[in-house]
Amino acid sequence: QKEVEQDPGPLSVPEGAIVSLNCTYSNSAFQYFMWYRQYSRKGPELLMYTYSSGNKEDGRFTAQVDKSSKYISLFIRDSQPSDSATYLCAIKGGGGNKLTFGTGTQLKVEL
Amino acid sequence: KAGVTQTPRYLIKTRGQQVTLSCSPISGHRSVSWYQQTPGQGLQFLFEYFSETQRNKGNFPGRFSGRQFSNSRSEMNVSTLELGDSALYLCASSPSRSSYEQYFGPGTRLTVT
């Protein structure tokens, strides 16, 4: 079993839809939870981070963590074609900067 | 502020050769981590360097190595290349070892033939 599981998609939604992206993890030692966005042929771009259970909002994006269930989510409101990308959850635990990534969910927002 | 830069962007090598990839972190960032990204395995952690010392290592064979210089720039080396080493190699920089912030470069696309 992988430490971080993420549905690879692809996920296709119409413009304006609310998108829900999810990951589950198995290691309780994980402390920081991040979401990255990766466009084709680019490096991952840090979208959001959180370190506690609950919600964190930034514009159209909301990151949610439930440590009791070991479940993290990213919601995108009013999705736009420019949101079409691969979304990766990443988790950091213990000391140092090692990130454990989910496999990524490929999202396409269609006009 | 300039982002993370990686050189070269694309590389084609033959099996058995070795390759060196370079990463320049964001100015002021002292931690550099390397990742391998493949369609089958996704993003996998290779190693982390901080203050010129390897601090953490992923589950890769000894053919993969790296180093960090006093100006925080880092290089990674892969010796005796195998076809399975074809991947996007990403470098990430962070201000410290305890920061949540990790910023990735554009990657080096390595193709082994």
Distance CA A53, CA B32 (A): 28
A102 interfacial to chain B (CB closer than 8 Å): yes
| Å between A97 CA and nearest CA of chain B | 6
- Predicted confidence at residue B1, as pLDDT, reads 67
Q: Do A82 and A54 touch, CB atoms closer than 8 A? A: no
How is residue A83 annotated by DSSP?
Answer: G
**What are the residues whose beta carbons fall under 8 Å from the beta carbon of B90, sequence distance 6 or more?**
A43, A44, B6, B34, B35, B36, B37, B43, B104, B105, B107
Q: Which residue of B has its CA nearest to A33?
A: B100
Contacts of A97 in chain B (CB under 8 A): 31, 33, 48, 50, 55-56, 92, 94, 97, 99, 102
- Average pLDDT score over residue span B19-38: 97
Q: Does the beta carbon of A48 lie under 8 angstroms from any beta carbon of chain B?
A: no
Q: What is the pLDDT of residue B2?
A: 80
The Cα of A47 is separated from the nearest Cα of chain B by a number of Å equal to 10
Read off the pLDDT band of A93 (50, 70, 90). confident
Given a cut of 70, is residue A46 above it in pLDDT?
A: yes
For residue B89, what is the nearest residue in chain A, using CA coordinates? Answer: A43
Model pLDDT for residues A54-80, shown as the tens digit of each residue: 899 999 999 999 999 999 999 999 999
Name the band, by pLDDT with cuts 50, 70 and 90, for residue A41: confident
Contact A43/B94, CB-based, under 8 Å?
no
Cβ proximity of A88 and A38 under 8 Å: yes
DSSP-derived pairing of the beta strands A45-50 and A54-58: unpaired
